[in-house]
Amino acid sequence: MADTNTMILSSTIESLIESKKYSTLKDIFVTLRPMDIAIVLGELGVKRLPLMFRLLPKELAAETFIEMDPDEQQLLIRGFSDAELKEVVDELYVDDAVDLIEEMPANVVKRILKTADPEMRRTINELLNYPEDSAGSIMTTEYVSLRPDMTAEEAIKRVRRGAVDKETIYTCYVTDKNRKLVGYVTLKSLILAEDDTEITDIMGTDTIYVTTTDDQEEVANTFSKYDLSALPVVDKESRLVGIVTVDDAIDVMEEEATEDIEKMAAITPTDKPYLKMSPFALWKARIPWLMLLMVSATFTGLIISSFESALAKWVALTAFIPMLMDTGGNSGSQASVTVIRALSLGDLEFSDFFRVVWKELRVAVLCAISLAVVNFVKIGLVDVLLMGNTSISVSINLVVCITLAFTIVVAKLVGCALPLLAKKIGFDPAVMASPFITTIVDALSLLIYFQVAKVLLGL
Amino acid sequence: MADTNTMILSSTIESLIESKKYSTLKDIFVTLRPMDIAIVLGELGVKRLPLMFRLLPKELAAETFIEMDPDEQQLLIRGFSDAELKEVVDELYVDDAVDLIEEMPANVVKRILKTADPEMRRTINELLNYPEDSAGSIMTTEYVSLRPDMTAEEAIKRVRRGAVDKETIYTCYVTDKNRKLVGYVTLKSLILAEDDTEITDIMGTDTIYVTTTDDQEEVANTFSKYDLSALPVVDKESRLVGIVTVDDAIDVMEEEATEDIEKMAAITPTDKPYLKMSPFALWKARIPWLMLLMVSATFTGLIISSFESALAKWVALTAFIPMLMDTGGNSGSQASVTVIRALSLGDLEFSDFFRVVWKELRVAVLCAISLAVVNFVKIGLVDVLLMGNTSISVSINLVVCITLAFTIVVAKLVGCALPLLAKKIGFDPAVMASPFITTIVDALSLLIYFQVAKVLLGL
């Protein structure tokens, strides 16, 4: 719905620019959401962007600015006078200002910091000091804090006074005189309370919080577990230092899911949307893994080479190598991907190691038996009878099916164990997914294949 | 943080139950969040669950109930008297009641519907009629609606009166006398407005909305695009019929990401968390795809069989089959997974088809050249010189590297095109991911291999 709208709008706006109907354009812009204006302006191209941006009223301009792509933001800032830049920066929430600064080159950052008022500059610098992807780095300092001995009436006054500058006023946090977090009050309970009720009587004390150094993935998981709309962040001394709002948590969730998916497919994750990436940037994100996996396939090559004479004697064996390797790879990645996702969502911990292995072992045996039986019948009926490939003896069929069964069990065990071990030693479990496991399973399945063949065929 | 807490808590609670300290238990429960109580109770086992649940005060009991696993909910309902069931059902939001009903067997559903008051029953039945995974099926009807000619004072009174039963009061929706959606007002703007300001003067009219039949994935994407906390749902006549709140949108996001990841790894998606699934259930979710992919590998087997005599003559060629197939599979799944994720997030449409293919073609050529060159040198240095495998002639090395380059280009093109085509014809793009593409690319890479060998080696 929204996308079609912006598409139609873009062409309207194009023609209004052609005919220089600027006041009409202004009238249109003020009816739109900042996100849609950013999309429409983004499609105009670098030449007309600054002109159109100047048509926006001050506050809308800042809100639109933060929704734009970093390239466009940089272009606009380079064209801004210092006064114009200040107008935009003053309107930004401090966490948005930090996001902006993280994307800009050093000279632009310098200008932004020079323009910000001293207090904002100090806060920005504080937030920039938190480790990347930590709760501290995504939080904002613009929240409403209340004292336990305030009345509901006083609290509502305070909320009203601060409302314009705060990211959310719907959950307020209660702190004692040492700034320690002692509870929370929703605006709902505030407006339902009698005027003279004390905050301490209506506040919730079962506050869910995170600390500044917690990983952003944990922040996102906490949001979804407790259905929160904001989450307070405390420092090591339990003092309230910021909040994360749900819109930022949603961005983290999507970012983390995309990152996991990319890593599972052997791609170095990037923040940029696909269509914005140049072929060269895509190449850079993909080539290291392809290279590594290609070179590590040297092992499978060596294994095959060392059994060359056997393969020359039993040529039929070669035909089943792809099927064995693929089924092993697929079985392994089913297990690894399931475990990786459960780890990301916080549903699994390393302490579940033996539970997981025992579960996967049983699943593997079920899969191994059913696939081996089906394959034995299939080879007999399709390959031998239907296709008339008489070089496949019953012994060869048995070698293939026994190898298949063992490969599946090994693949599932490797697949579930590796991500958990990676998590334990502080590696990213997602990197352990299909391509990596496929390479290991390939080598193992070939070794099993030739061992089984040795026993049954006497290679 | 939260998880360690509930672990320590569980053992405290176990020992309090042993010593029958029920009033202490009650005191502990009222300090906890419903989600944490649900986790702790879930660990107690079926015998003690009903007893502990009855310790909870009415409202907390209902809130805890909705956070429990379907198995536990069913167990509790079976133990409830009709009066107890009514107490829980009356406290539920209507969308939670619908979720519950969707999980319960028919006889339990009957009891729940019998217990609900007539209006709730009617609403539940309406919501159950929307297609699965549509906006209508996840929305709630408990929102605040205002009229454009109300004053801010009247509106706040109305919000206060309805607050207890509404899922959110922070965004209210403005409808005309035909129930058509005309705008929205945030509680923030209401409490900042003068008492006698008319709603029509402070309401936003750039309302983002979805229709009842829109897919839940689009609902989730709209939330993240516009940073919303609630999203109104209208029927075909633009009448407001419900809202989706951000906590439900977050659940949808996680569910959809997990589903995509599972499908990409050739697993039939399920709603259940990993540790709750029996080995048999996991087998059922995994075996159809393994079976399908195993049987479809018959083609690669046939291709190899038909070149058996050639392979017997040039035995060194066999050793490179795994590397060629894996690199092709990895290249293809990089492209497909990137495209599938961009489609899910709404960043790509089918109309981008040629842009995507053109981009992937250039990435593929870059990857093909770099990998082929590295591989040529690697085979010469490592396999021939270091390992002393003299059966690999320069011609064979060339055959391998040329095949590699072509395979990568084909794999990337197939990988990016298939998900887009799937989307176009209404199939799920995620099913087109790595395992499926690997099978296709395996066959293609072998065909390329033997064609190139024919030309260069004269097979």
pLDDT-derived band of residue B291, with 50, 70 and 90 as boundaries?
confident
Q: Which of A313-322, B272-281, B323-332 has the highest mean pLDDT?
A: B323-332
Q: Which of A35, A205, A322 sits opposite B225 (nearest CB)?
A: A35
Pairing of strands A181-186, A171-175: antiparallel
User: Which structure tokens are listed for B289?
Assistant: 């795809």
Q: Does the structure show a pLDDT above 50 at B60?
A: yes
pLDDT for B101 beyond 90: no
C-alpha to C-alpha distance for B13 and B25, rounded to whole angstroms: 7
Q: Among A14-28, A184-198, B172-186, which is the least confidently predicted range?
A: A14-28
Mean pLDDT along residues A331-359: 89
Measured torsion, CA atoms of residues B322, B328, B330, B335, in degrees rounded to the nearest 10: -170
- Secondary structure of residue B198 in the 3-state scheme: strand
Tell me what the mean pLDDT of segment A64-93 comes to: 87
Pairing of strands B240-245, B181-186: unpaired
Q: Is A178 exposed, middle or buried (0-12, 13-18, 19+ CB in 10 A)?
A: exposed
- Is B385 within 8 Å of chain A by CB? no
d(Cα A332, Cα A264) in Å, to the nearest integer?
13
Q: Which long-range contacts (CB under 8 A, 24 or more apart) does B404-407 make?
A: B404/A294, B404/B324, B404/B327, B404/B368, B404/B371, B404/B372, B404/B375, B405/B368, B405/B369, B405/B371, B405/B372, B406/B368, B406/B448, B406/B452, B407/B324, B407/B327, B407/B328, B407/B331, B407/B441, B407/B444, B407/B445, B407/B448, B407/B449
Region B355-371: mean pLDDT is: 94
Does any CB of chain A come closer than 8 Å to the CB of residue B298? yes
* One-letter amino acid for residue A248 of the chain: D
Q: Which residue has the tokens 């063949």?
A: A453
Sign of CA dihedral B383, B387, B393, B396: negative
Task: Tell me which residues of chain A, numbers 179 to 218, contact chain B at a CB-CB cutoff of 8 Å.
Answer: 187-188, 191-192, 205-206, 208-211, 214, 218
Of B327, B363, B439, the CB nearest to A293: B327
Distance from CA of B411 to the nearest CA of A (A): 13
Q: Are the beta carbons of A65 and A97 closer than 8 angstroms? A: no
- B-chain CB neighbours of A390 within 8 Å are none
The burial class, CB within 10 Å (0-12 / 13-18 / 19+), for B227 is middle
Per the CB < 8 Å rule, is A224 touching B254?
yes
DSSP B215: B
Residue A451 has pLDDT above 70, yes or no: yes
Minimal-distance CA residue of chain A relative to B302? A319
Confidence at residue A201, expressed as pLDDT on a 0 to 100 scale: 93
Contacts of B346 (CB under 8 A, 6+ apart): A3, B218, B221, B225
Residues in chain B closer than 8 A to A294 (CB atoms): 323, 326-327, 371, 374-375, 404
Q: What are the C-alpha distances in Å from B371 to residues A386, A444, B151, B434?
A: 40, 25, 70, 20
**Residue A5: its pLDDT value, please?**
55
A301 with B279: Cβ contact below 8 A? no
Encode A250-310 in three state secondary structure.
HHHHHHHHHHHHHHHCCCCCCCCCHHHCCHHHHHHHHHHHHHHHHHHCHHHHHHHHHCHHH
Is residue A347 over pLDDT 60?
yes
- Look over chain B and give the mean of its residue pLDDT values, rounded to a whole number: 87
Q: Is the pLDDT of residue B361 over 70?
A: yes
**B294, A163: Cβ pair inside 8 Å?**
no
B 411-450 residues inside an 8 A Cβ radius of A:
434-435, 438-439, 442, 446
Give the percent of chain B with pLDDT over 90: 29
Class of domain A2-138: mainly alpha
How far does the CA of residue B294 sit from the closest CA of chain A (Å)? 6
User: Which is the CATH superfamily of the domain at A297-457?
Assistant: SLC41 divalent cation transporters, integral membrane domain (1.10.357.20)
What residues have CB less than 8 Å from A160, skipping those under 6 apart? Answer: B191, B192
Minimal Cβ distance to A279: which of B261, B294, B362: B362
Phi first, then psi, for residue B3 (nearest 5°) are -70, -40
Does B315 reach chain A within 8 Å, measured CB to CB? yes
Q: How confident is the model at residue A7 (pLDDT cuts 50, 70, 90)?
A: low
Q: Using an 8 Å CB-CB cutoff, list chain A residues near B156.
A: 191
Rounded-to-integer distance, Cα B133 and Cα B251, Å? 12
CATH number, span B2-129: 1.25.60.10
E-assigned strand segments in B109-260: 145-146, 171-175, 181-186, 210-211, 230-234, 240-245
Question: Does A373 contact chain B (CB < 8 Å)?
Answer: no
Contact A264 B262 (CB under 8 A): no
Run of H or E including A201: helix A199-202
Judging contacts by C-beta atoms under 8 Å, the chain B residues touching residue A260 are 261
Task: With a cut of 60, say whether residue B7 has pLDDT above it.
Answer: yes
Residues of chain B with CATH 1.25.60.10: 2-129
Q: Which residues contact B226 (CB under 8 A, 6 or more apart)?
A: A2, A33, A35, B208
- CATH 1.25.60.10, chain A: domain bounds: 2-138
Chain A residues touching residue B224 (CB < 8 angstroms) = 247, 250-251, 254
Residue in A261, A375, A446 nearest the CB of B341: A261
List of chain B residues whose C-beta atoms are within 8 Å of the C-beta of residue A274: 338-339, 342, 347-348, 356
Contact A439 B326 (CB under 8 A): yes
**A258 interaction partners in chain B (CB closer than 8 Å):** 341, 345
Tally DSSP H helices, then E strands, for chain B: 23, 6
Q: What is the pLDDT of residue B6?
A: 61
* Cβ within 8 Å of B, A 91-130: none
Answer for the pair A214, A133: CB distance below 8 angstroms, yes or no. no
- Nearest Cα to A233, choosing from A168, A158, A173? A173
Q: Which fold does the domain A145-254 belong to in CATH?
A: CBS-domain (3.10.580)
Q: Which of B190, B231, B234, B250 to mutate to test the interface with A (most CBs of A within 10 A)?
A: B250
Instruction: Measure B165 CA to nearest chain A CA, in Å.
Output: 11
Q: What percent of chain A has pLDDT over 90?
A: 29
CATH 1.10.357.20 domain range(s) in chain B: 297-457
- Comparison of pLDDT for A18 and B403, the residue scoring more: B403
pLDDT at A434 over 70: no
- ipTM higher than 0.85? no
CB atoms within 10 A of CB B428: 16
Q: A380-386: long-range contacts at Cβ-Cβ below 8 A with a sequence spacing of 24 or more?
A: A382/B298, A383/B298, A383/B301
Question: CA of A293: which chain B residue's CA is closest?
Answer: B327
- Tell me the chain A residues in contact with residue B434 when contact means C-beta distances shorter than 8 Å: 265, 333, 434
Asked if A300's CB is within 8 angstroms of B222's CB, the reply is no
Q: What pLDDT, in 10s, does the model give residues B428-453?
A: 888 777 677 888 898 999 999 999 99
For the segment A360-376, the average pLDDT, to the nearest whole number, is 94
Pick the closest to residue A34 from A11, A58, A62 (CA basis): A62
Pick from A33-42, A236-245, B15-24, B382-391 the range whose average pLDDT is largest. Answer: A236-245
Contact between B294 and A374 using a beta-carbon 8 Å cutoff: yes
B388 interfaces chain A, CB cutoff of 8 Å = no
Cα A189 → chain centroid: 34
Average pLDDT on A433-446 reads 84
Subunit contact A262:B337, Cβ cutoff 8 A: yes
- Whether the pLDDT of residue A1 is over 50: the answer is no
Distances (CA, A) of B247 to A183, A246, B394, B445: 21, 9, 62, 46
* Mutation site, B227, B259, B311, interface A, largest A CB count within 10 A: B227
Count of positions (residues) in chain B: 459
pLDDT confidence of residue A89: 86
Q: B312 and A312: CB-CB below 8 Å?
A: yes
CATH 3.10.580.10 segments of chain B: 145-254
Task: Name, of A360-369, A448-457, B8-17, the range with top average pLDDT.
Answer: A360-369
